[in-house]
Structure 1
């Protein structure tokens, strides 16, 4: 993943702690398949909640938009599938 995603102006309103957490997630999740990403993201979300870190729906939508930048249609489709699975589990 291109590390410049953190500099996207859409993320400028995001709390620095949340941005740092996302950066760590991105590094640790690099190279994982969509089927591996779902449990990984769910576990990370649980750890974030335990630490008192909650993301608003608007923040989540913005993060997803930024993650899709520069992705192929296939990668975008896979990301959408993971998001749908997360919504069903939530």
Structure 2
């Protein structure tokens, strides 16, 4: 996390706040918003950074909720691929 651009960290922090208490499908709009906001600021998340974000979002979630997050990411992978650096 220390090597991530501070502007990206701020966006990730905001996304983490917005996802508290949300699961699965409810996370998709937050992730899309995160990436869209980053794009507006000229930032691109690497696949590794996206993986890190997902791990943070999964923290404290049940195995079922974590699986739901994984499924949501698979369904939206094409959209994310289009927006990722």
Smaller-chain TM-score range?
0.7 to 0.9
* 1:17 maps onto 2:7 in alignment: yes
Select the structure of larger CA radius of gyration: 1
Give the unaligned 5+ runs of structure 2. 81-85
Counterpart residue number, 2:73: 83
Counterpart residue number, 1:26: 16
Counterpart residue number, 2:83: none
Q: How many residues align?
A: 80
Give the unaligned 5+ runs of structure 1. 1-10
Give the TM-score of the pair, scaled to structure 1: 0.70
RMSD over equivalenced CA pairs, Å: 2.0
Give the TM-score of the pair, scaled to structure 2: 0.73
